[in-house]
Amino acid sequence: MNKDSAPAMPSGTAYLIGRLHRLVRLRLAESISPLGLTIQQYTALAVLDARGQLSNAQLADRSMVTPQTANEMVKTMEAKGWIKRSADPSHGRVIHLRLTRQGQAIVGQAHAAAARFETELLASLPARDRQRFHDQLRACVNTLSL
């Protein structure tokens, strides 16, 4: 089948965002996999990097995974030496998670890999449009988050 006879692809905005999401996850995963990271682990480490410390429940919520998935992920990342747990001094049942030095190093490398990927992703947009595109995406996220 040649290009002219191929069936038309859906072109709705939601469809295109869905396709972009799938491609971004795939390509970002390829970018960070040499570091031994999954997308979920990178997201969790990046959240901890930005927040300093969180409980398992907070990490799950901010990493967009279930508490059960976060718990398994935390066990794996702790075994790799990327995070450490510590009890909250004022509430013994609350456990805080924070990055170790090794975790800080790996998330720094992952941030660099993600930045290289993002440069590639946005290469077809003129430089003057990149911030506007970012702002528009944030506005869409904010609208749906209300």
pLDDT digits (tens, 9 = 90+) for 19-49: 999 999 999 999 999 999 999 999 999 999 9
Query: Is a pLDDT exceeding 80 seen at residue 8?
Result: no
Q: How many domains does the chain have?
A: 1
Query: pLDDT at position 145, please?
Result: 86
3 inside domain: no
Does a structural domain hold residue 89? yes
Name the nearest CA neighbour of 102 among 124, 74, 83. 83
Domain contains 103 = yes
Q: In this structure, what CATH number is given to the domain that contains residue 87?
A: 1.10.10.10
pLDDT on residue 4:
59
Place 88 in a pLDDT band, splitting at 50, 70 and 90.
Answer: confident
26 within domain boundaries: yes
> Which are the contacts of 104, defined by CB distance < 8 A and separation ≥ 6?
49
Instruction: Say if 4 falls within a structural domain.
Output: no
Domain of residue 22 covers 12-145
Residue 6 placed within a domain? no
pTM greater than 0.95 (yes/no): no
Mean pLDDT for the stretch of residues 6-18? 80
Across residues 50-60, what is the average pLDDT? 90
Is 1 part of any domain?
no
How many residues in the chain?
146
Residue 7 lies inside a defined structural domain of this protein? no
